[in-house]
Amino acid sequence: MEFLYLSPEFPPNYANFIVQLNNMGVNVWGIGEADFYFMPENLRSAMKWYVRTDLNSDAEVEKALEQLIRIKSSAGTPPHFDLVESHNEQWLRLEGFINKKYGIDGIKPQDLDRLKRKSVMKKLFNEAGLEVAWGEPVTDVDRGLQLAGELGYPLILKPDEGVGAGGIHKVEDEAHLRGLLSTVNGEYLLEEFIDGRIVTYDGLTDCKGRIVFENSLIYGEGVLEYVLGKDTFFYVSRSIPEELVKIGRQLATLFDIRRKFFHFEFFTIDGEYIPIEINCRPPGGAILDMMNYSVDDDLYAAYARMIAHGEATVAAEKKYFCCYLGRRDKEYVHSHADVLSTWGPYLVEYSENPPIFRKAMGRYRYILRSASEADILQMAKYILKSD
């Protein structure tokens, strides 16, 4: 198996995919933007070869791939790639470009609008009979103001194509909207503001699109609120409501997600689920690790087995609720020593986040688990309590 991995250096925990693929006998070749010696030794040694390049330039990527192919040929390995993967939303279009250019099975450019553009997702949600937030793309100030008059404030203005909470604005009034529409670049959606709790349906599909693993996150606030400075709190639930499972599986089929992780976001109001967007990637940051902690299994290894052998199983029983708590650069009532003293037996991970994650995820992260949801809620109250 000849496997091309895009951007192996980020996020850092995704190096586990490459290590596990290598353990399964898969030849992993990498291209990315990091200096080779910037990456940890276990990642470097798990790749057959790595070429540093500009992933935002198709021409530079082609040069890097031709270099890899020459190296593969000189080493006596097949001069092709069987699969391409990034696990990173930012490089999904690049993945489609490479697949088409080199005739590799997987996502193609014609698939990308439905997987990345929120306006296209919204149409597919509607066609599937699902309620969505009311709104539409806006291309000028006049149409934006007209739509705002129909929807009423507050509103959400967000990029039609984007990752996480980047570029999303909560619009409070006409003056705010005028200012934003005069400065934003690219295609944006203007939508009604929905005051509902956010939950997810996440998982992994096999090569035939069958769901191998499923998961659900419950958020204390929305990601936008975290970016705006609220302390970050969300957790892996031990159970998934039947209706959410039904809709989530329907969407995995509708969007034809195969051999991929997925991350679907919903508002939940009075037992109803309103889809926000789908992501054809794992949920970000440390969430894959949280899933592992919740079931005492290894999704990195399961993915590698699926690639190497065509099938994989993952423990289905959620033994624990598993929470993420992000602390910022401010004073908290309880010190780190207090946290260790009070909740130490439940703590599975504590570390400082990479700078790129800190705005949304906090500077320091605590990951804890318990069989009791009440414990999780108490942990959040204790650890995030501030003056």
d(CA 376, CA 54): 42
HSE toward the beta carbon, residue 109, CA cutoff 13 A: 7
pLDDT at residue 199 is higher than 60: yes
pLDDT of residue 221: 62
As given in the structure block, the two tokens for residue 37 are 């010696």
The amino acid present at 31, given as its one-letter code, is: I
Edge to edge, what strands does the sheet with 2-6 contain? 49-52, 27-32, 2-6, 83-85
Mean pLDDT value of segment 146-160: 90
DSSP label of 109:
G
pLDDT at residue 228 is higher than 80: no
pLDDT at residue 266 is higher than 70: yes
Mean pLDDT value of segment 153-166: 80
* Domains of the chain from N-terminus onward: 2-109 (3.40.50.20), 134-192 (3.30.1490.20), 197-383 (3.30.470.20)
Mean pLDDT value of segment 281-286: 89
pLDDT at residue 163 is higher than 80: no
- Confidence grade of residue 229 (pLDDT, cut at 50, 70, 90): low
* 205 beta partners: 211
Q: Which of 384, 387, 354, 378 is nearest to 366 (CA)?
A: 384
pLDDT of residue 165: 55
Mean pLDDT of the chain: 91
Could you read off the pLDDT of 310-368 as tens digits, one per residue?
Answer: 888 899 899 999 999 999 989 999 999 999 999 999 999 999 988 888 888 889 999 99
pLDDT of residue 167: 77
- Confidence grade of residue 226 (pLDDT, cut at 50, 70, 90): very low
CA end-to-end distance (rounded Å), the chain: 55
3-state secondary structure of 347: strand
Q: What's the alpha-carbon Rg for the chain, to the nearest Å?
A: 22
pLDDT at residue 64 is higher than 70: yes
CB 188 within 8 A of CB 168: no
The amino acid present at 204, given as its one-letter code, is: L
Mean pLDDT value of segment 63-74: 94
Could you read off the pLDDT of 92-105 as tens digits, one per residue?
Answer: 999 999 999 999 99
Reported in sequence order, the residue ranges of the chain that DSSP labels E, i.e. its strands, are: 2-6, 27-32, 49-52, 83-85, 135-138, 155-159, 169-171, 188-192, 197-205, 211-215, 217-219, 232-236, 261-269, 272-279, 321-327, 347-352, 364-370
Single pTM value for the model: 0.91
As given in the structure block, the two tokens for residue 175 are 């003056």
Mean pLDDT value of segment 167-187: 86
Give the whole-number percent of the chain exceeding pLDDT 90: 73
pLDDT at residue 227 is higher than 50: no
Mean pLDDT value of segment 157-175: 81
Give the whole-number percent of the chain exceeding pLDDT 70: 97
3-state secondary structure of 273: strand
pLDDT at residue 298 is higher than 90: yes
d(CA 80, CA 226): 43
